[in-house]
Structure 1
Amino acid sequence: MPLPEGMSVRELSEVLGRLLAGFEALRTVLEPVDDPEQLVLAGGELDVRICDRMSAAPAMAVLRRPFTPAELPIRALVLRDGPLRTLLLECSHLAADLAGMRVIERAIRQSWEPAGTRPARAEARQPVDQALVEHEDAQRRRASAALDYWVRTLGRVPQAMFALPRPQAGEARLWHAELRSRALALGADAVARRCRVSRSAALLTAMAALVGLYTGNDTCVVASLSGNRSEPRLQDYVGTLVQDALMELPVRGETFDELVRRCWPAILDAYRHGRFDAAELWRRVGGVGERRGTHFFRDFAFNDQRDDAGSDGAATAGESALRWLDTQSQGETFVFDVHRLDEDVAEVSLRADGRLLPRELVEALLTGMERLIVDAATRDVPMPEVPAVTGIRPLRRGPEWLMIDSCWVDVTEVRQLLLDLPGVLDAEIATVPSGAPELHARVVVASAGPTPASLREACLARLPDRPAAMVPSRYTVVPGPR
């Protein structure tokens, strides 16, 4: 952030000192013992590096290195070209999420204002206080209800939205496209007003509908980052509160307005169940996978990154523009981000695994979403018209693809899953004809080969990188030739 004209090193030091004094998360470390404990430091020092703008590369490299648990979770670098010009801060994610970083930025900017003009700010809750609150009975019940919600939902939804042929081994390639559009902003506002939902919900419903159309799913499973800051005393909280909200969005209906109105309560319900004990959650998620023979891939993520403080008005509205960004893959499959969405302009982006989704499809999903929202601004679009409106059409699947327990499954992938196991000589996959479809595996094994129980366990362990596979529910083990 730019520094005020004429700010001295001493004045900046006082600002940073007040910052650390006011937010305990910024002076919390983990003691390096077998069972780490958080320690809030009563005092200490923060090294602030000051360097010339033209020779800042070495200092920038230090700023970007990983944090260690025992060091302060904040670093500061000041750039100068004579006077002090720019302050750069980096925080460990253990100390602050994106909303927490925005609180830090606001606190610094307010500290530059004259004392009599600074806005009154309610005392923010500190992380230790938040931990005590989370142990209260009401909060424990809320967390328990969230776990139950996740288990119920994951027990019936697709394990993967992008159950596609497994990509070839190799370095991940990420497609990252950003769309900036005034028409999208105006359309989202019109749909939101007519359907009485938020603008971002209108955009998310449109993107979910297109993903469901392309992949052939009736339900779109979305992991959305939940800020968990609805309580007044958490508005100025510095810490990490963000967790996943699991959305089960219906994407089949007569009209787009119908989808928007049905998705809205599902979105709100997901956010209500977005605070939980993370360790316990993943233990129970694993239990769901063991029972179903599936794995939760979390392959469609959504992040509404808008600053609740509102737009600064610096951007100007214009025609739609799409650009491609050079971004390093972090292992994501499909991430839809909303960066700005107001009356003037919408700025959204898609990040997608290039081994699964071609560049042309990523662009088509972004521009198709825009066309759907723009069309929906003036009419309730019938869902059968969406392919013609957007250019998105269903993926063609061959006879090897089956819909089993709401999941698209490629039986050739299931067979390969078994063939990759030690001791397996051959495998055949069939569906059980009676009742709901189930996978039955006939497995030829070596003389001292695996049992049905060990086969199932081994398949579950190898499922996380195979979204088009599912663990068979029945096994017939046949000894191979001696």
Structure 2
Amino acid sequence: MTEKILVDFQGTGAGVGDLTWGQRTVWRTVVKTGRSETMGGVTALPPGSTVEQSVLVLRYVMARHESLRTRLVFDGPDGGPRQQVHESGQVALSVIDSDGEDPAVVAERVRVEYEDTDFDYADEWPVRMAVITEAGVPTHSVAVYSHLAIDAHGLDALVTDLSTMDWTTGEPTVPLEATQPLRLAEQQRKPNVLRNSEAALKYWERVLRTVSPKRVEGESDDHRSPRWGDLALRSEASWLATRAIAARLRTDTSPILLAGYASALARTVGNNPVAVQIAVNNRFRQSLVGSVSTMAQTCPLMVDLADATFDEAVHRARQATMVTYKYAYYDPDRRAAMVDRVAEELGGRVEMDTYFNDRRPPGRDERDITAPPVADILAARERTSHEWVAWTDVDSPLLYLDVDAEPDALVFTLTGDTTRLSPKSMLWLLTEIESVLVDAALDPGAGTGVRS
């Protein structure tokens, strides 16, 4: 059984304006794939939760954040979208009884349905929310947001801001001072911000003119249908080896994993210098830290691994990351025009469709990591496992690596285009990441295996 509760909301701020750079970046992907990009998931509710509390939450976030009161209007000079922020309206909260099923299973099914159903950008609010009940008692909340309204760090900001709500009245207890999307779009037209964008595009062009035209050498001899596959490799050995290297270098683990992936890529199906794109949240000013919006953009990271020890590769990866952070804030339409121009001048496009995404939660305290025993690292290799988790024909990247953490293992999930990279080669690349990390953990002088 499903009941829909219409929730009235009234916020501050309204108007029509250009999309922000982050929104335009997402919109380009939506146009390319023909599918909505989404954020969100399932949350188990604490005992004693009520449907009325969920109504308060939905009303609060809608009133509080302009991005959630935004729809698109397609009245631009080229027929493209602009954002329209509404001051008030109604949004539906679905209340779904599990009807004897496991409510967690029902919640997951609702999440998948919400994510798989494209948003109506002109006539639907960019949030879908449901409460799952068991015999009338709320057990789970499902919330899925359009990526045009929010990114991963914006979702963190939303959760942080929600903690300031008065649970009795549903009113805020602190003022909201973060920059909202309409204001952000105005700022992105200012001369100083546009100069930053032009500097970023010069960096992009330098990368395009430096690296090999191909991120993956050759073609696949094992095309699949559906075309793109997701392969997950669970590795306790990589988790232990990464900790051993971090203890030796007294550094955090992110540049270690980046160096491991770059080394494995160059040693297997790629080339050197390695170029991968990483997502940067672009919330470096205090006024943007709490912005519930989409600001993340990707930027190429280029690192030369030739004749380097792995420890040196970690240092180079860290330096390259800092450069990437500096140049990840730009006008995506001008970037696209620059890429087209460079392709014409070079006589062909340079592939940049390879990504590295460390999805582990930020704010990890890795200052006091202790190196595990060598024997534990070696023994853990016997427990490495892999599985194919998804296949799709939705237009996807050439290569996209996600890194996730379990309590005692790392999980590498690689999306690959089987017209360029066979399933066997995808597995080779993932297992090589583990080999690179283990070798470097056991031998401080281990090299990347990349020759000049």
* TM-score, normalised relative to structure 2: 0.74
Say what the alpha-carbon RMSD is for the aligned residues.
3.3
Q: 1: CA distance between counterparts of 2:111 and 2:253? A: 41
Deviation by residue 1:194-240 (Cα, 9 ceiling, x = unmatched): 44654121111111112112246221111111221233332322111
Distance 1:284 1:190, change over 3 A: same
Would you say 1:177 and 2:231 are equivalent positions? yes
What is the deviation of 1:63? 6.2
- Which residue, out of 118, 127, 137, partners 1:74? 127
What is the deviation of 1:66? 0.8
1:36-435 to 2 correspondences below 5 Å? 36-54=81-99, 61=113, 64-70=116-122, 71-81=124-134, 82-108=136-162, 111=165, 123-165=177-219, 171-195=225-249, 197-215=251-269, 217-308=271-362, 310=364, 319=380, 320-329=383-392, 330=394, 331-340=396-405, 345-383=409-447, 386=449
Q: 2: CA distance between counterparts of 1:285 and 1:103? A: 33
Distance 1:25 1:346, change over 3 A: same
What is the deviation of 1:286? 0.8
What is the deviation of 1:119? 10
- Partner of residue 440, structure 1: none
Would you say 1:9 and 2:73 are equivalent positions? no
Does the 8 A contact of 1:158 with 1:221 survive in 2?
no
Would you say 1:25 and 2:25 are equivalent positions? no
Does the 8 A contact of 2:219 with 2:421 survive in 1?
no
Higher relative contact order by CA 8 Å / sep ≥ 6: 1 or 2? 2
Greater Cα offset, 120-129 or 274-283: 120-129
Q: Any idea what SS the aligned residue of 1:94 has?
A: coil
Larger Cα-atom Rg: 1
Greater Cα offset, 236-245 or 35-44: 35-44
Distance 1:323 1:235, change over 3 A: farther
Question: Which consecutive residues of structure 2, in runs of 5 or more, have no partner in the other structure?
Answer: 1-42, 366-375
What is the deviation of 1:337? 1.1
Distance 1:156 1:67, change over 3 A: same
Q: 2: CA distance between counterparts of 1:101 and 1:325? A: 29
Q: 2: CA distance between counterparts of 1:123 and 1:254? A: 46
Deviation by residue 1:31-86 (Cα, 9 ceiling, x = unmatched): 24354432211111111111122486689646641112222111112211121221
Distance 1:44 1:244, change over 3 A: same
**Which one-letter code corresponds to 2:93 in the other structure?**
V
* TM-score, normalised relative to structure 1: 0.70
- Partner of residue 17, structure 2: none
Distance 1:172 1:333, change over 3 A: farther
Distance 1:204 1:113, change over 3 A: farther
Q: 2: CA distance between counterparts of 1:246 and 1:46? A: 39
Say how many residue pairs are matched. Answer: 380
Does the 8 A contact of 1:200 with 1:341 survive in 2?
no
Distance 1:328 1:231, change over 3 A: farther
Deviation by residue 1:250-286 (Cα, 9 ceiling, x = unmatched): 1211422222222321221122101100000010011
Distance 1:114 1:361, change over 3 A: farther
Q: Any idea what SS the aligned residue of 2:391 has?
A: coil
Q: Any idea what SS the aligned residue of 1:327 has?
A: strand
What is the deviation of 1:28? 0.9
What is the deviation of 1:15? 1.4
Question: Which consecutive residues of structure 1, in runs of 5 or more, have no partner in the other structure?
Answer: 312-316, 388-393, 395-405, 407-482
